[in-house]
Amino acid sequence: MIGRSWFVVRRSPERAQRGSRPELRRFETTGSCTPLRTLRAPTDHGRRVRAPRRSRSGLRRAAVILALLLALAPAGAQDPRQPAGIERYRNYLLTDPAPDPTGGAVRVTFLGTATLLFDDGETKLMTDGFLSRPPLRKVIGKIETDPKVVDAALEKAGATKLAALFVAHSHYDHAFDCAYVTRKTGAILYGSASTLNVGRGGDVPEERMVRFDYDKEYAFGKFTVKVLRARHSPAIRFLNDDLGQTIDRPLKQPASFKDYKEGGAYDFLIRHGPNAILVNAGGSYIEGSRDNVRADAVFVTTAMLGLQRPAFQTAFYDETIGKVRPKLVVPIHWDNFMTPLSDQLKPQFDPADAWDPMIRRLRADRIRFGVLQGYGRATLFVRGKE
């Protein structure tokens, strides 16, 4: 997913009269500007911000870019050993050594955003494969896969050979590198018609691509992957207001991030022997759609969850975790994906707004909450056990 809410710099008439500094407020995606909570004032970063006299849309566009800069600025100011907002969750870090999986164990490796590597010692599957993670200064222009960055990440993750790559939707923070990763790893690319056009634009041969269908199950070694109907988190004007739109012809790089239309949203139910893993990549839910889905581990996208209303968060929990009754829940897509993949990922936003309410409910439901850092690994279960 791409973020749901962004920030605008506003100055209330009263404050303007008093000459006080402007406030940074959240900008809701409905098009109306709804201040949810006053955040850090731009002068905190040693610069003065004045709202430019421009057209309304020009102002908003500038505000989105400015807000991104401001939102991302604190990351660089932090001690790299103490990523902002993450250190509070150190007790939840999954730190088991996760040796090479044998005897029915499945090991997962978190590679940022919704990119996960699943490995049972015989077969490796990946979701999304977004590894280039271009910085903001590039994202505002035309961007292309960085082979050196992707190669290094695949090497470090032990993912140089994959059976399959499943892409959850076609926004750039999911599908951007799928063509290169498919070609490089020998994978078969599974995705929507839009994702396959990303593959075609990146010269993936037709015989290496499969357009997947809802509720179909695909087998790889001892794994099966079922594609589930899903929903993307709500749209944001100028950023991801393309939900339901498709990529209708081969998409060649360099391209704008805006060229990566959503193309439908999908979740994955990955089975291995008696165990199952649910990957929620869209950050939303469809009521009732998981009534009959059970999984031992659930990976949930929490990117913008903390900015949603409490009722949304409650329903999201009920539909994605409560009904599925896992033993373990791991948040994904919480990291600032405009910084390089590393083992010290920083959050895009303070994770507390999404994670704390979730942890409270998980505790009540006696479900374990676990956090994976970049390249972090965990053994999800051995045969028949957690």
Which residues of this protein are in contact with Zn ion, per CB under 5 A?
Answer: 1-2, 171
Supply the minimum distance, in Å, between the C-beta of residue 25 and Zn ion.
23
Nearer to Zn ion, 108 or 265 (CB): 265
Supply the minimum distance, in Å, between the C-beta of residue 281 and Zn ion.
8
Supply the minimum distance, in Å, between the C-beta of residue 374 and Zn ion.
20
Supply the minimum distance, in Å, between the C-beta of residue 320 and Zn ion.
16
* Secondary structure string (H, E, C) spanning the chain: CCCCCEEEEECCHHHHHHCCCCEEEEECCCCCCCCCCECCCHHHHCCCCCCCCCCHHHHHHHHHHHHHHHHHHHHHHCCCCCCCCCHHHHHHECCCCCCCCCCCCEEEEECCCCCEEEECCCCEEEECCCCCCCCHHHHCCCECCCHHHHHHHHHHHCCCCCCEEECCCCCHHHHCCHHHHHHHHCCEEEECHHHHHHHHHCCCCHHHEEECCCCCEEEECCEEEEEEECCECCCCCCCCCCCCCCCCCCCCCCECHHHCCCCCCEEEEEEECCEEEEEECCECCCCCCCCCCCCCEEEEECCCHHHCCHHHHHHHHHHHHHCCCCCEEEEECCECCCCCCCCCCCECCCCHHHHHHHHHHHHHCCCEECECCCCCEEEEECCCCC
Nearer to Zn ion, 9 or 165 (CB): 165
Supply the minimum distance, in Å, between the C-beta of residue 68 and Zn ion.
16
Q: How many residues are there in the chain? A: 386
Determine the straight-line distance between the first and last CA of the chain, rounded to whole angstroms: 29
Supply the minimum distance, in Å, between the C-beta of residue 220 and Zn ion.
25
Nearer to Zn ion, 1 or 67 (CB): 1
Supply the minimum distance, in Å, between the C-beta of residue 265 and Zn ion.
8
The label of the residue with tokens 């790089």 reads 253
Nearer to Zn ion, 262 or 296 (CB): 262
Nearest 5°: the CA angle 355, 356, 360 is 115
Nearer to Zn ion, 270 or 303 (CB): 303
Supply the minimum distance, in Å, between the C-beta of residue 233 and Zn ion.
7
Supply the minimum distance, in Å, between the C-beta of residue 29 and Zn ion.
12
Nearer to Zn ion, 1 or 371 (CB): 1
**What is the β-pairing status of strands 328-332 and 297-301?**
parallel
Nearer to Zn ion, 1 or 165 (CB): 1
Nearer to Zn ion, 2 or 187 (CB): 2
Sheet order of strands, 217-220 included: 217-220, 223-229, 266-272, 275-280, 297-301, 328-332, 368-369
Q: How far apart are CA 333 and CA 214, in angstroms?
A: 23
Nearer to Zn ion, 163 or 300 (CB): 300
Nearer to Zn ion, 199 or 263 (CB): 263
φ, ψ for residue 117, nearest 5 deg: -110, 125
Supply the minimum distance, in Å, between the C-beta of residue 142 and Zn ion.
19
